[in-house]
Structure 1
Amino acid sequence: MHEIAVCQSLLEQAMRARVAQPFDRVVSVRLAVGRLSRVEPDALQVAFDLLSRDTFLEGAVLEIDRPPVQAVCGDCGAESAVESRIPRCPACASRRLRFEGGESYRFIEMEVA
């Protein structure tokens, strides 16, 4: 389950930030999760709720941005913002699509109190 690994990484980053500059608790956390990353937002929320329990992250709001993916056609060169892997180019119906981005996740910001 990718979502648990993402949340564990997030918790580790938050702990490092807390050591560097002490704070009491986290109010909100914002992540960008690629649409092709195989990380499901609902499962990520469940994992976050479970792993943050009894920590300084408990009760924090998890905000998940889902930026679109760029698809570039290998035949006609058309570029399209897409929500998921699509089977054909929207412009020429070619199957030769290259997807740029959308497979990773990253920590954007954390609001603390």
Structure 2
Amino acid sequence: MVILVHEMSLMSEILNIVSEDAKQRRFTKVERIDVIVGDLSNVLPDALEMAFFYMQKQGMCLIDDQTELRIIREVAKANCQTCQLEFVPDYRIALCPICQLPNGVLVSGETFKVESYEGKDEHF
């Protein structure tokens, strides 16, 4: 099993952040974590998921084998500053398919964040 070090590090940080917040809220278990991953965020969703499964099997933080990771993909979009066309860019430097000028401004696709999580207190 090959897991990229970058995604292992990112998932470790996600779990630490979520667990610290969950502990402050007196949760004893995290049931679901929703993460937004943009197409141009330099994060590989499959590798991030593999890192989660690995850490899940290790029983890290407040997750267990019932905890769900939901990866929400954010499509990359750009707007051309010349012709106002909205298009899907291949790269961060967005070349407009109509004008052929590199003046597209990214409006989505770079996001990488924890959108939300759900937890509960097992004592109640």
What TM-score comes out, normalization by structure 2 length? 0.74
Residues 1:71 and 1:58: Cα distance change in structure 2 (over 3 Å): same
1:26-37 to 2 correspondences below 5 Å: 26-37=30-41
**Deviating 4+ runs (over 3 angstroms):** 83-88
**Which residue matches 2:59?**
54
Q: Following TM superposition, by how much is the alpha carbon of 1:5 offset from its aligned partner in structure 2, in angstroms? A: 2.3
Which sections of structure 1, spanning at least 5 residues, go unmatched? none
1:18-97 to 2 correspondences below 5 Å: 18-52=22-56, 53-55=58-60, 56-59=62-65, 60-80=67-87, 82=88, 84-85=90-91, 88-90=95-97, 92-96=98-102, 97=104
Q: Following TM superposition, by how much is the alpha carbon of 1:74 offset from its aligned partner in structure 2, in angstroms? A: 3.6
Which sections of structure 2, spanning at least 5 residues, go unmatched? none
Cα RMSD, aligned residues only: 2.2
Q: Percent identity, aligned pairs only?
A: 26
Q: Following TM superposition, by how much is the alpha carbon of 1:84 offset from its aligned partner in structure 2, in angstroms? A: 4.4
Residues 1:109 and 1:69: Cα distance change in structure 2 (over 3 Å): same
Residues 1:83 and 1:72: Cα distance change in structure 2 (over 3 Å): closer
Contact 1:32 1:105 in 2 (8 A): yes
Contact 2:32 2:69 in 1 (8 A): yes
What TM-score comes out, normalization by structure 1 length? 0.80
Q: Following TM superposition, by how much is the alpha carbon of 1:33 offset from its aligned partner in structure 2, in angstroms? A: 0.8
